[in-house]
A and B are shown apart, each in its own frame.
Chain A
């Protein structure tokens, strides 16, 4: 019998974590208990930004990380964080397929293997006033929590404020920040609706969690168990993305119930934001080099 520990960064009740647990149960059942995976939710085993390294060095056999978080290491990981490149679940699926061979290559070089990815709900803009265009967003106190969100702040002329996830609710309540970009689930979990009344459903991008496994740990399994893991991973990917889509609708409704106005962005705002996206895509291409270009081409072709 083999035991794997799976560090995950999100709370046990998050749909990603629930999906991981289901995956672990599936593997357990399919292998007749030969491979037991223990999910350690809420960054209880390793912190979010240590998980990838922990899998690489064999501290944990398997783990889940948010791919865009690794974009400093290689821009390829950040492809699903380019605003307005893939803006729906269908396109996100296409992008995942285009991204996969490149991610596989990067991970293989570090002794890891990609099992599957699941998208987060699409990112919208939380803001404390009605906005018609990017010009209305100048001077907003904008939460920047990643290189991409900091860059957006710069491009739209907002003031970037760095706030840790744990301090977001308080920062919103006291007006330290009055706008940020995230999915409906973040806004719901952090009670953004108590202080901010508008959410613009821009569907800017759908970041993905990747579930990776240490190659050595994987190779140490017998053939049948390997097959079972891959099969369960495939199911988990389909299931996870489906739940994600359902959750997206559920969160939008839940936010509306809490008094938040779910806004459809005006054509002008969309056009402006697309421009922001184009600049960021160009920047990204410059950083990502030929691999990046091949990735985008593969995405556009299909």
Chain B
């Protein structure tokens, strides 16, 4: 089929809105509406967008946690999904969840949490399991003393490390990281991100990195896609997106990144103001009659933008 590692083709996920006397389907929320993403092996793809733009839904569809309305997902050239179905569980695709507090079962000890995937897919004796889990703990930088503790005894950053340890336990090939640091303290974010990058290089992982923080994405990703209301508005390499943004929505997102340089405060403010005015005046031109972004057009080999169709 294709030599891309993960390929999402024209993915649509619509949720029905029910109502009325007979509780019939009245309308659909188009959470994801025609998204194409392809990720080469060993790279990180950043999916950015505001709340409700469908980033997480896309990630969950790849994991098999959402029904797919239309579209296809290929993993290593194999088709994962059919229409109207969930993707089957795949041991080579794992997920790191957004909230390290709700994604760990508070009743389970760290050992049971990390050993769960190993118990499901591999048959180990109890001692082998403990060895494996201790190795994983060491890898994510937690002391062996954590083995029999409960999640509530750890900080947010440590809990996210437990989540990462669980995700890499089966040596997956693809990891969906669903805003893995957005619930964490800024001081811990960098720590977790660096260590995720380390693990990615060590294990040659491919990653779909979902985030709303452009600074984080710049730090992590080679390719970036910007989503708006279920559609991609711009896609390209990190440099292209940050140095040469074409879509007005991307421009505004990038202008909103805070800068620590005090001398530039004035000029940044002016730039932001200018982009805001442009955004207010022209944003409607970037959307079609139904308020959806236009189809992506290639402006270079890697850079695609949803510019209005001319004429």
Task: Decide if A and B are genuine partners.
Answer: no
Chain B interface (Cβ < 8 Å from any Cβ of A): none
